[in-house]
Structure 1
Amino acid sequence: MVLREWARDAHAAVEAAREALRHVADDPASLTDDEWVALLGASGAELDELCALADAARRAVTPADTLTFVVNRNLDTAVVAGGRTDVPTVTELVDEAWRLGATEICLQGPLPADAPADGYLRLIEEIHAAAPTMHLHGFRPPEVRDAAARMGVSVADFLRSAHSAGLGSVPGTAAQILDDDVRAHLSGGDVLGVADWVSTIETAHHVGLFSTATMLYGHVETPRHQVAHLRILAEIQSRTGGLTELILMPLLPENVPPHRRGEAARTVSQRETRAVHAVARLLLHGSIDHLQVAWTKHDPQTTGVLLDGGVDDLGGLLIDGDLMPEAGQEAGRVLQVDELVDIADRAGRTPRQRTTGYSDPPADRILAIPQVRR
């Protein structure tokens, strides 16, 4: 009896996915949440068709034969501003990144509790002084709100000051899943609420900054939570137009908070990863043009598969030279140029360097890239 019920449920799921596929091929905007949930469960032939539709949507809005990337360096705020004697100065790190060809510094993480009240602003000014034309992509919504609270000003006032000092854009990280219950469950209650996360991102857009968007999947959330998260991002984009890209990141078992290990830790399957990326591309079609693969979170084979399922961007190279401080969860992760070429070649794409805002870099900042071998 149980086996018959399982087979009946499995057959119903396949039929629901097939019906949703027919609708998404005609008009993605018309799909209901139930239909998107059905597509998130697609497998086999239905998953292959879903990914093909997502890749067709990619080709409709981005150059079909290119794979974009940015030359950047990640810095962890707590490390570079923590007063440690074993860490190079911010100026030294930025100067080296500039000499190595970076066009972006990505800065995330909170300042130490004993840092000066205007410490975030000083850090922006220091980076901007070291490389005035380097794009600074910095401070997640929790850090933005921390900075404003330390200075005793509004979030909008801090962001205006930060923008004037040299901040160019804000990472849309710390989004996790935009559901208060899921966020509290995953983080033990000590997490920025959804309304505050959304408000901070939209305020950044209103003062002239743009931002990325993210989704952390593969823990305690359900497919319906994933759909709701993507809907919220679409609503933000409709109000501000300030989201440049979406990065979908699986929660790796080693990154699960200690109080949730065994409960939230699970291995995310390639099937789920393919479906999440394809659904994101289609649900946000006409809203957010760029879908980035979080290459630090996947094995090379999965990264390659995702490039056939709606992904157009590889993100940052995370370059480091002789000076390599800790950089949070991505410490030591560097994508070499030869690896970049290999990934693009296997996907039938040509690497194309971009800026943080998806424009072409100045001619003197373009990295020398070997020709792909195909």
Structure 2
Amino acid sequence: MNRRALYDKCLRREPLSRAEAYALYEACPLQEIASLADRVRRATVPDPQVVTWQIDRNVNITNVCVSGCKFCNFHCKPRDRERAFVTTPAAYRAKIDRTLELGGDQLLLQGGLHPKLGIEFYEELFRSLKRSYPALRLHALGAPEVAHIARVSGLTTMETLRRLVAAGLDSLPGAGAEILDPDVRRAISPGKPGVESWIEVMHEAHLLNLPTSATMMYGHVETPRQRIDHLLRIRDLQARCPEGHYGFIAFIPWIFRSTGTELEREGITTRFSPLEYLRVIAVSRLVLHNIRNIQASWLTVGRQTAQVALHSGANDMGSIMIEENVVSSAGAHNRFDAEGIRAAIREAGFEPQLRDQLYRPRPWPVKTAAQA
């Protein structure tokens, strides 16, 4: 392998072959590819001295889910009446009011694959939230949930997306990707819509010019090459996005957390290495040449590793996450408030910039409801 030629190709932001991407991950020194990824980041983002961040809240629509994901402690079966819930209108109001008081502008709305909640439920939910809070952005659901709602409702996924957008959906998270490999999916998410379903829903969202993000949960049963294959699927899907459409605005890799999960009971535990995470970040920046924003997952890797990631290809620190339940229930207990995340960015040598979901700057300090 000619490393110099490979690095020059990365600097030109040209698509790598599968063999080149494997070599980048498996054979290149971390210090070299982290430095290379930082150079590419600086050439890609509008202002290389700025690191963006967000204020939003992750609200779970329901915890009822039939997908059987072995990495999730949060879900419960429909028959578990003691644990099962669907968030009430009063609870939404309380959570949204507090989010606005803290300067947030968005709800990340996710739930499970509830067997009895069809398109009408989600349409009414989105419409009611928009009626009460017209400026609130709904970053909601995920490709598996869209596919499930379509199946329950007897619709195509494109019809489902159109109706959700008409009801108030502003953007679609990358949730449910995990590792886009059929064998991995069967092993960890046996009841979830498959790889091709995730890709199809995301492509349809891109055709509708619905902003999306992409994710990767790694560090469980997958191989390093399956991680790279995942990145290549994301890159190639982004290449199919119509010109001028949003496509994938950001990519967020995060580490599997095993505490109390079914995978842990099967002997699969968290294998977190900060150096491996930095390699994932750097290679993500270099392979995903057509996605501008790479996010450091401070929630799962902690403050210091996330800060180093900002020098290894990442340009965003994500959200302070006023509320988050799913990953936290599996052992991720890192926390930031607005002052803390801004301080962490400054400590890393950058200027913090509050943003919205489309990576547009928001002024800081924001005028919160408590200040009005």
For residue 342 of structure 1, report the CA deviation from its aligned partner. 2.2
Query: Measured at CA, do residues 146 and 32 of structure 1 come closer, stay the same or move farther in structure 2, by a change above 3 Å?
Result: closer
For residue 175 of structure 1, report the CA deviation from its aligned partner. 0.4
Match of 1:193 in 2: 194
Match of 1:65 in 2: 49
**What is the TM-score when the length of structure 1 is the normalising length?**
0.83
Q: How many residues align?
A: 338
Query: Measured at CA, do residues 314 and 230 of structure 1 come closer, stay the same or move farther in structure 2, by a change above 3 Å?
Result: same
Tell me if structure 1 keeps the 8 A contact 2:140–2:173.
yes
Residue 75, structure 1, aligned to residue 59, structure 2: yes
For residue 124 of structure 1, report the CA deviation from its aligned partner. 1.1
Query: Measured at CA, do residues 363 and 353 of structure 1 come closer, stay the same or move farther in structure 2, by a change above 3 Å?
Result: closer
5 Å-filtered alignment, 1:10-25, equals 19-20=2-3, 22-25=4-7
Tell me if structure 2 keeps the 8 A contact 1:247–1:294.
yes
Q: RMSD between aligned alpha carbons?
A: 2.6
Residue 316, structure 1, aligned to residue 351, structure 2: no
Tell me if structure 2 keeps the 8 A contact 1:353–1:360.
yes
Tell me, in whole angstroms, the C-alpha distance in 2 between the residues paired with 1:42 and 1:265.
Answer: 26
Query: Measured at CA, do residues 273 and 255 of structure 1 come closer, stay the same or move farther in structure 2, by a change above 3 Å?
Result: farther
- Give unpaired runs (5+ residues) of structure 1: 1-15, 321-325, 368-374
5 Å-filtered alignment, 1:1-374, equals 19-20=2-3, 22-28=4-10, 29=14, 31-41=16-26, 46-62=29-45, 63-78=47-62, 82-83=85-86, 88-110=90-112, 112-115=114-117, 118-187=120-189, 189-240=190-241, 242-254=247-259, 256-258=261-263, 261-262=266-267, 264-285=268-289, 287-319=290-322, 327-330=325-328, 334-361=335-362, 365=366
Q: Is the partner of 1:172 in helix, strand or coil? A: coil
- Give unpaired runs (5+ residues) of structure 2: 65-83
The code of the aligned residue for 1:41 comes to E
Tell me if structure 2 keeps the 8 A contact 1:214–1:247.
yes
For residue 199 of structure 1, report the CA deviation from its aligned partner. 0.3
Tell me, in whole angstroms, the C-alpha distance in 1 between the residues paired with 2:279 and 2:90.
Answer: 42
Q: Is the partner of 1:254 in helix, strand or coil? A: coil
Tell me, in whole angstroms, the C-alpha distance in 1 between the residues paired with 2:181 and 2:20.
Answer: 20
Query: Measured at CA, do residues 130 and 99 of structure 1 come closer, stay the same or move farther in structure 2, by a change above 3 Å?
Result: farther
Tell me if structure 2 keeps the 8 A contact 1:118–1:150.
no
Tell me if structure 1 keeps the 8 A contact 2:307–2:344.
yes
Identity in percent: 31
**What is the TM-score when the length of structure 2 is the normalising length?**
0.83
